[in-house]
Chain A
Amino acid sequence: MAGLRGEAAIVGIAELPAERKQRRPELFTLDQYALLARMVLEDAGLDARVVNGIVAHGLAESDMFVPATLSEYLGLPLDFGERVDLGGATSAGMVWRAAVAVELGLCDAVLAVVPGSAMLPRSERRPSSGPGWYGASSNNYGSPQAEFEIPYGHVGQNAPYAQIARRYAAEFGYDERATAKIAVDQRTNACAHPGAVFHGRPITVDDVLASPVIADPLRLLDVVMRVQGGAGVLVVNADLARRARNRPVWVKGFGEHIAFKTPTYADDMVRTPIARAAERAFSMAGLDRAAVDVASIYDCYTITVLMSLEDAGFCAKGEGMRWVQEHDLTFRGDFPLNTAGGQLSFGQAGMAGGMHHVVDGARQVMGRAGEAQVAECHTAFVTGNGGIMSEQVALLLQGE
């Protein structure tokens, strides 16, 4: 099968501590890119001038020409510039694209960093932009969402994820103590990770069940918390990996699958694109599920984690509720999952939420997770999930 040889590695990571109310100065996204780029390079112990590739998402300051604008601002000429538009799967999608560009020899070192602060300096002359509540839906004329979703109130993420959970419940049953346990175990992990927004605030299953219903069956503590932050990685070739300071985290396999935008139009709402993406990633890497030492699964909601565990092949379809009850998902447990708290308990720093999982996996394989370090951790499975289980990416990362 075509695929990576595993000769590109993450050697630098960065993640700003999550803040609910930002205390750091407000920065344009351009400046956030620069800050995060500096952080991943310092972390790697490499000079900025090694960078000749950028994979980016977007800039609040410019709708177009994102790689060129970044190249100019950072003062780094590029042999590879790319923009990725996969929602919550963007970050994982950035990492494999960076690894492919490195393995093809297009470039030596690729910045893959994602600003995660919406607290931008505001113009005194120009009014702020219109209502932000369309979220991931487009209300532009001619958009299918504008015409066939938004007029009925189908907007935002909570309701469609709740619809997925309701459909799952109808097919397989629903144990709200099992989904709650995902949130509880991840909170335990957040309590061992100082950068997490909920560090120092453990919760119980009863706390989750006592939290208010947002869109049934989802409750407040089944849902991510928006925070301000930012995260990124540096992906380099084997030569630079040998010169870098950290244990290289090789990108061994990946898969990506995009199936729809709105789950109404999914072939099957409860069998998600991560199935195909994960299958490709594992076969590309030549690894079994049992080889995974740590998993960092995109967790906008507890139901997302549950269905991703099933569809990525860690347990049989429909058995996830029982499986999570039988496994300890904390960093001390038999299936360490989202060991920095995940987005549920670290916080979701906007588009950088997806990069949280890449950094979590890489940090563990580097052996730098501090109190939350998983012993003998060499292989990480990371997922990204965009839209409403619409577009998903799987990564397999491995230390030597």
Chain B
Amino acid sequence: MTEPRPLPEPTPVSRPFWDALAEGRILIQYSPSLGRYVFYPRTLAPGTLADDLEWREIDGRGTLYTYTVAERPTAPPWADRVPQILAVVEWDVGPRFSTELVEVDDPAALRVGMRVRPVFCREPGSSTTLLRYAPAT
């Protein structure tokens, strides 16, 4: 039997991100003094340690920065989920996001730089929503 896949456990720092995903929205942090968005959630801004991080909603659209099609499972919980299409998405607002691609008909047609759109995935048997990505149509 396949091991259960590990789910994220929201923390006091990250909870707004996960709560928003459950509502089909994407909230990430923005630092006015840096003038840029920040991911993943923190208590102080990276680089300057400025205490001005605020939550802002983004549309989550972006481009495919890179990906791989893993023919061998990366770990036992994914043994029945190959090939895994493990991707890094660069949001239009700046930061990059580790994710998986779904709704991919032909992995050979994937291209670095292609447009992608968010897909909100409620994980079965849990209250967790993961943010996966699909090729933008």
Asked whether A158 and B72 contact (CB < 8 A) given A153-B78, A153-B86, A163-B66, the answer is: yes
The verdict on A212 contacting B9 (CB below 8 Å), with A153-B86, A167-B112 known, is no
**Residues of chain A within 8 A of B88, CB atoms compared:** 163, 263-264, 269
Closest A-chain residue to B90, C-beta based? Answer: A264
For this complex, 8 residue pairs linking A to B, each with C-beta atoms less than 8 Å apart, are A144-B40, A147-B40, A152-B98, A155-B74, A158-B72, A159-B74, A215-B72, A218-B68
Number of B interface residues, CB 8 Å?
41
Contact, CB under 8 Å: B68 / A150: no
Which of A142-200 touch B at CB < 8 Å?
Answer: 142, 144, 146-156, 158-159, 162-167, 169-170
- Chain A to chain B: the 8 pairs with minimum beta-carbon distance, closest first: A162-B68, A170-B112, A167-B66, A133-B75, A215-B70, A163-B66, A215-B68, A147-B8
**In contact, B8 and A153 (Cβ under 8 angstroms):** no
> What residues of chain A have their CB less than 8 Å away from a CB belonging to chain B?
131, 133-134, 139, 141-142, 144, 146-156, 158-159, 162-167, 169-170, 212-216, 218, 262-265, 269
Q: Is B71's CB under 8 angstroms from A154's CB? A: no
Distance A149 CA – B74 CA, assembled complex (angstroms): 12
| Interface membership of B11, Cβ < 8 A | yes
By a CB distance below 8 angstroms, the chain A residues around B76 are 131, 133
Q: What chain A residues lie within 8 Å of B9 (beta carbons)?
A: 141, 146-147
Smallest Cβ distance from A220 to chain B, in angstroms?
A: 9
Residues of B within 8 A of A162 (CB): 68, 70
Q: Nearest chain-B residue to A170 (Cβ)?
A: B112
Q: Taking A153-B78, A264-B88 as contacts, is the C-beta distance between A164 and B8 under 8 angstroms?
A: no
Q: Is B6 an interface residue (CB 8 A)?
A: yes
Contact B66–A269 (Cβ < 8 Å): yes
A163 close to B75 (CB less than 8 A):
no
Q: Are B86 and A154 in contact (CB under 8 A)?
A: yes
Q: Are the CB atoms of B99 and A152 closer together than 8 Å?
A: yes
Inter-subunit contact A153/B81 (CB<8 Å): yes
Most buried by B among A131, A154, A156, A167: A154
